[in-house]
Structure 1
């Protein structure tokens, strides 16, 4: 597999990972103040979005592979490695804050007493992951732009 192919795949996967994250962030201002019944109805639109979560491990793999292929050039290597680290951080945030809120609400089908705190936890963890996904995409793109073929 050529480095250009891996660069392309890493950028495309990173861009695809940003789409659902960006959708969460864009919806946040409209959702954060909704009454409980309305909020739980709206949360239903995310049914089966878990499949999109597979983009994060794919981005880790693609950026790790890119870092390995670019290891002879310090800048592109570190940019790709940092992009991979961003996607790892996104998984950490998901498992520390997003998933516990999903579990406590049975994927937003039951409302525990602290549902509003769980909503903030869920919404803001997604917002943080959007920022991180954007940074990761920028890092991957910069890695591809900074890489120079041998002899250039």
Structure 2
């Protein structure tokens, strides 16, 4: 079970790191023109698509940990909190971030897995690019905070008595 706990910890940490990376770019990206911002957005999708698998893996690992942890213990509740937070990270992605992603990449020729992945979910109506930028950037800030709280919860669970 300790191996599973470390795997969950690692997957949640990767999720947090990716969202935090986006959040930390925000001040610099505010200085970009529309053309530069739109060009910059398209560089993320190949690598972050594969990294996004860690989000799902983290949820699966946390569900497995929750199933294997005695009900009602501090560790159980910390893992449950970590899981709820990771589910919230996913909800924000699918309800807020992904529709904007689809707008940013509408003119890109994505191949294989990336093309299939970015065809999923709803699409944002065309609005002012700055409004879409802010929705996308703030969604990653929210995701980074929730993922960080999940990382804290799963770390404390690992450190607590079984």
TM-score by length of 2: 0.82
Runs of at least 4 residues of structure 1 off by over 2 A? 104-109
Q: How does 1:85-124 map to 2 (within 5 A)?
A: 85-106=84-105, 112-124=126-138
- Residue 61 of structure 2 corresponds to residue 62 of structure 1: yes
Change (3 A) 1:107 1:133: farther
1:86-124: CA deviation from partner (whole Å, max 9, x where unpaired): 111111101111111112233586xx5521111100000
Q: Which 10-residue stretch deviates more, 66-75 or 96-105?
A: 66-75
- The alpha-carbon deviation at position 45 of structure 1 amounts to 2.2
Q: Which 10-residue stretch deviates more, 75-84 or 46-55?
A: 46-55
User: Which ranges of structure 1 fall in alignment gaps of 5 or more residues?
Assistant: none
1:60-105: CA deviation from partner (whole Å, max 9, x where unpaired): 1111111121124521001111111111111110111111111223
* Matched residue count: 144
User: Which ranges of structure 2 fall in alignment gaps of 5 or more residues?
Assistant: 109-125
Q: Is the 8 A contact 2:42 2:105 kept in 1?
A: no
- Write the distance in 2 (CA, Å) between the matches of 1:136 and 1:117: 28
Q: Is the 8 A contact 2:97 2:139 kept in 1?
A: yes
Picking from 147, 153, 160, the partner of 1:133 is: 147
